[in-house]
Structure formats: structure tokens, C-alpha cells
Structure 1
């Protein structure tokens, strides 16, 4: 079996360390390296890395987020964390160099790790200035803050997980120490990444069945010939999609089609986007259709899931696509109100809550998914209805159930532009 190709993105010193560990501990891996000294530049090599390898290992969280900020990650990926060992090694090095004081500025490492090191190893830190990694801060801002703390006399040493920050502070002759990952952390990260790649390979081999159901060919035809002509156009467009996913197409009458394919192709981003374009093409011509994709280990399981997905899609006025795999449902795919939730809830707290509110566990999980996606817990009736794709009367009835059961509260009233009746704002307590 050929060695698995893994790409490693990060600054040269970290990449050298990963290369050494991989060569010594992971003989079944071929490591391809892509050096970028600044974390914010990691996106520049992301596309090439993903084209040449099966997965990407980022040398740190900042390198990973730098790639995400301006690139799109499509392959499995993992980043190497900095834990207690990284900090202990820095403290040991400081001690060897005669820096006894615990006055230290440190970045990247989380406050939880700092507390763990103090508790577990009895380390005494006189005055520590912690700057955990934050998405909104650039490497330059971390660099400036370290310099400011040192020049003001608040710290006597600096510990950083950023390769760029380390090299810049070194140039200025400041007492800076590099937070390197341990051999164990690198091995664990490589192990998690190879596991994800293998799981993806197994999942990609699963069976996928897609059902496509025409809702209406046209709303303006004056004769049967126009209906047949538009139906023929739709069939040709659908055929192009089926060819792209290397599937097989069967039609039952003129209203329903069944597509057989492998999960890896039908559920990939490019092919989902292809089908989204097909939906848009149909809407522009008043050719409305709905679709459900079911994924399973057997054809029976995949078809059963596809029916469940299609049942959700046909409820949409303008058609749409849902995907069901096991107990998870996603959709409408590509739309602003796309959600992922469970069709079979086993969480005891959620089951008990749904019983008290008087709605199904699956619907409660859908609402919870909506709150996670929108990062909101307060809605008015129209907003709640739009987000869930239901009528305002139904939304009002659902919110009342939350209020009556004590799982929601009135959180003020809002008047848009001081016109009309005030909108009651309901805060969900789940």
C-alpha cells in the first residue's frame, strides 16, 4: 500500500520539527511541506497543498485560521495544539538561562493550560500576562503587545507560539522563547488526521440515492406541447448533473427520477453546487422541483433516507434539496436557512424538554440548531417563521408553547420605524 500523503503548512522551524518526528515515528506517511513564515500567509499554499495531498496538518491554530480566513479547506485537516509541555519546556529553558522571575508574557496557550501547569506541577508564576489566540488579533498586534510589556518593565521574558513573532523579537535581542509542540502532540495530531482521512475514504464509498420530484413544469403554458418541451429541457439538464456525479438515472413517469451514485461524489461540494445551479435554472423557467439525497451502507437504507429527505423538500414552495444520513438531516442545501439537526434524538435532557414544551424532540433540535447558526436566542413571530420556513400562525403557536411551559420569556417589544403594532420579542431559554 502506498504511503499516505500529508501536507504540512507553517513556519520553517515548526515544519522542521514535524518533519523530524514524522520520519522517526510515522513511516507510513509521506510528508510534503509548504513553508510560510507568517500565519496570515498560509492561505497562499493551501490550494496547492490540497491538490497534492490527502489531508493538511497546520503547525498551529493561527496557521490554520490564517488559511481559513482567505482560502477554502476541502480536505481533512488538523492543527497541532500547544499544551502544558510546551510551557514547561519554556520555563525550564528560562531557568537554565538564569531567568528566575515568573514575570512572563505568553501568547497562544489558553488560560486553562496555564492553570493546569500551575496546579499539576506546582509552578510559581510571579506575574504572567496571558494572550490566548484570538481570531481578531493579527501577529503584528501580538508582537507589539509583547514589546510594550517588556519595554514597560512588566515582564522579563516572552514566550510565543508564532514563528514570525519569535524571529522578530530575536532580531531585537529580546529574551524570547519559542513554544514548540512536543513529539507526543505532533504524533497525536498526525494520528487524528490520518484517522479522519481513512474515515472519509470509507464514508465516500457508501451508497447514495437521490430522488428528484417535479412539482410543476410551468405556470404559464397554453398547451400540452409547451409542458412536454420544458420537461425535455429539464431532463437534459438533469442528465448533465448525473454524468458529473458518475451516477445512473432512472425515471418513473414524467414526475419522479431516481439517481444512484456513490456518497463521495454526490455529497461533495462541487456537485452539491452543481445541483444548486440546476435548482436556480429551473426556478428562472418556472420549472419547480424538489430533491432528497439519502446516504447509507445499503441501497435499502439509502432509499429510506432519500424518501425522508424528499418529504422535507416537497414542502418548499420553490423546491429545494435535503440530505439525510442516519439520524441527521441537512437542508435546504445552499439556502440561507440551511440547518442540520437530528431526526432521532436520544439526549435525555432534550427529550424531557420537548415533552414539557409539547413539540417533537426532532423539531426542538431543529430550533436549537437555528439558534446555534444565527447566534440568536430572541425572535419575534415573523423572524422566527422566516428562519424555520413556516407560517406566522404556526410560529406564533410554537412560541406560545415555549412561553406556556416556562422555556421562554417576553424580552421587550419592538416597533419598526415607530409605525404599526409593537412586535413581541420572545427569548428562548434552551
Structure 2
């Protein structure tokens, strides 16, 4: 088993020091980053290489979730009562009369902090808490701390960010590190291992892949040419079926079905082999539409794969889609991929009606927010991602703007002739 430990160097080292003696059978892969945003992008090679991820904090965790798209269990070091008490113990060594102290905290939840102080009878003159917010960077937290220190609103800083800690240390300012305790780290590791076990059982489900060959036969094409094409195709499919430790059969005219497991289909090796297969078919003068489905049995997986294939056929771009657990995923292996739910609750329908959009498109737009980590899109971007015309995009957006759940914030100037494109910000 391989587990990646990702985050600021000192926290990575502490997690390794805590866990390696307890789990000698697990290979821990340390990835040290000193600042978010730029560094996380360099971790894309983790996909398909690890069984789980242990991040050093919620900031790192959120960056990984939004940017890497790893389909493995993940946990992060939380800052609970133990972390707070440990840091305050260090503060007490420098400030014996802690009752008169104004302290600036970050990342910890305010309720957890206040409950901890109350539970252990600790009184502080003032606490300023910067709780985690998705859009805030380390620099935002740092700026707020600097401002509060300069105004005298706090006397010292207790931070979960290694970057913030090192900055204040270099300036010789009173700063203390909020790090998870050994007990908190161990508890999170137990939760991660439990999730990995559940995930393994989940991935042993049946995996079905339906490949539809789209080939325009020329009127003057000889029957022998078609036979050669079919023979070459079968050679390609036979080799691929061995790679996935499964088998295949011709389902109908120009349609082939592969049987294996979800676990095998989600490996990096399978991704490489299948993209090679698609390229080889293209070299034969054809393209494919592909649908993948997972379920506990062959019938359910086949139904799901058929739903995914139908989406690929409608788009007519030779793309690959996946359907399982009431979610559409795709187009796979492309930058425009996003995953959205097809399960619509009664409350979801009511919300969609209030916003002025169909439940289907509400689900898709919500998925865009999560996948691309933003709420602002041009009509061209929405057109390309949703695979509809810009006119259709504008028709969908209009009632959302009218109901106040979206707004035009600026116009993107086009270099070519034509009307400028609107930049739309969704407010939900």
C-alpha cells in the first residue's frame, strides 16, 4: 500500500515520524511543498500511483481536491483541542500572564477554540480567529495577521501555515505553530485506512466498457478491405483484453463490449493502453465512441455503460464517458472533463425552479464550480464545456440573470470580428 504525505516540510516530517513506526507495511511517499497554488500542480503524477493521500492541512487538501482530480481516499491533519493546547503551552513559556494576552489564530474552527478554552479554564484577553475559506490563500491569512499585529489588536500569532510561521519567524515576530498532535494524526490515519478498505471493496465491482466503431465505408470499398479492417480490429481488441485481464465480444454491428473490474479500468496503465488502442483504430481510418459503466453485477454495469455511450454518440466527437453511482463523468482524459449528478431530489428541483434553470443544468453548473474552482465563465467556455452552442448558453443564462442568481461582470474582447463575449458570474 502506498500513501502520499503532502504539505509543508515540518508537518510532513512529523506525520512520517508518527506513522512510520506504526505502519511498517505501508510505503509513505513524502511530497513537501512550501506554498500552495503553484506547487500542487506539480503533483499530477500521483494519479494511479497511490492508494490514499494524507495532507498536512485543509488548505493543501482543498487544493489537491480542486486541481488534481485524484480518485482515492483523502484526509488532512485537523487542528483540534490537542493542537490548541500544545501551542498555548509554548505561548505560556514566553507570556506567563496569559490572561492579558490578545492572540490571533488561523484555520481552527472558532467553536472548537472557544470550547477548548472554556473546558480547560483558559482565559485570554481577546482572540481573533481566521477560519478557513476556500478562496483565501496563505498570503491573505498572512496579510490579516500583519494588519492585526501592526494595529496592536493581537500580541502574537498561532498559525497552522508553515509559510506564515516562517515569515514571522524571519521578522522576529511572536509566532507559534499550530500542528496536529500525534494522537490527532493517528486518528486521521485510522480514518484513512478505513476509507481505503471501503474504496478497495468498491473498486472490485464489475467494469464494462462498450466501444462503438464509427467508420464511413466508401461505396467502392472492397469486401476484402472490410475483412482486413475487422481482422486488424480484433487483433487490437485481443491485445487490450489481455492487458485488462478480461475478455471481449462483439455485441452488435461495429460494437464491442469488454468485461473486467472497476479497479483495473481505473489504473494508469489501463489509461495508457486504452488511449493507444484509440490511436491504433484511428490509424485504421475509424474513430470510436466509448461508454464505461460500473456496478455490482454485469447487467447493471452494462446498463450504465450504455447510458455513457449514448452521451458519447450524441456529442459525436469520439469521446469517452463514464456512468456510475448516478454520476456522469467525462469526457475522460480531456481538460473539459467534469462530473455531475443525475440524481435529482425534490428540494433540488425546487431550487432549480427558483433559480430559473432545469435541474439538469443546475447540476452541471454546480459541477463546473467544483471542477474548475471558479464561478466566472465566458459564454464560449460554457459552450465548449457543456458542448452546446453559445446561443443555447445565452438562452440558459438569461433567466438565471433575471432571477438574480448570475450577473454580467465584464465583456471579453474578441480578437476576431464579432460581438464581445460576456463574462458571467454565478451567485449560487
TM-score (ref. length: structure 1): 0.73
Q: Provide the C-alpha distance between the structure 1 equivalents of 2:412 and 2:82, rounded to a whole number of angstroms.
A: 52
Corresponding residue for 2:350?
Answer: 352
Mapped contact 1:57–1:79 kept (Cα < 8 A)? yes
How far 1:248 sits from its partner (Å)? 0.6
Corresponding residue for 1:385?
Answer: 383
Corresponding residue for 1:94?
Answer: 91
Mapped contact 1:102–1:128 kept (Cα < 8 A)? no
Q: Any gaps of 5 or more consecutive residues in structure 1?
A: none
Question: Pairwise CA RMSD of aligned residues?
Answer: 4.9
Corresponding residue for 2:77?
Answer: 80
Matches within 5 A, 1:3-402: 11=9, 15=13, 19=17, 30=25, 39=34, 54-60=51-57, 76-97=73-94, 98=96, 100=98, 102-104=101-103, 109-110=106-107, 113-114=109-110, 116-118=112-114, 121=117, 123-126=123-126, 137=138, 157=156, 159-161=158-160, 177-217=176-216, 222-283=221-282, 286-346=285-345, 348-355=346-353, 360-374=358-372, 375-377=374-376, 379-380=378-379, 382-392=380-390, 394-399=392-397, 402=400
Q: Provide the C-alpha distance between the structure 2 equivalents of 1:406 and 1:188, rounded to a whole number of angstroms.
A: 44
Deviation track 1:266-303 (CA, whole Å, cap 9, x = no partner) reads: 12344234333433444465412111111001111111
Residues 74 and 82 of structure 1, relative CA distance in 2, 3 Å threshold: same
Mapped contact 2:2–2:29 kept (Cα < 8 A)? no
Q: Provide the C-alpha distance between the structure 1 equivalents of 2:45 and 2:75, rounded to a whole number of angstroms.
A: 17
3-state SS in 1 of match to 2:328: strand
Residues 228 and 402 of structure 1, relative CA distance in 2, 3 Å threshold: farther
Mapped contact 1:12–1:35 kept (Cα < 8 A)? no
The farther-off stretch of 7-16 and 189-198 is 7-16
Mapped contact 1:305–1:326 kept (Cα < 8 A)? no
Residues 193 and 240 of structure 1, relative CA distance in 2, 3 Å threshold: same
3-state SS in 1 of match to 2:314: coil
Residue 399 of structure 2 corresponds to residue 416 of structure 1 = no
Q: Provide the C-alpha distance between the structure 1 equivalents of 2:282 and 2:60, rounded to a whole number of angstroms.
A: 41
How far 1:150 sits from its partner (Å)? 8.7
How far 1:345 sits from its partner (Å)? 1.3
Mapped contact 2:241–2:248 kept (Cα < 8 A)? yes
Mapped contact 1:344–1:362 kept (Cα < 8 A)? no
Q: Any gaps of 5 or more consecutive residues in structure 2?
A: none
Residues 298 and 114 of structure 1, relative CA distance in 2, 3 Å threshold: same
TM-score (ref. length: structure 2): 0.73
Report the count of equivalent residues: 415
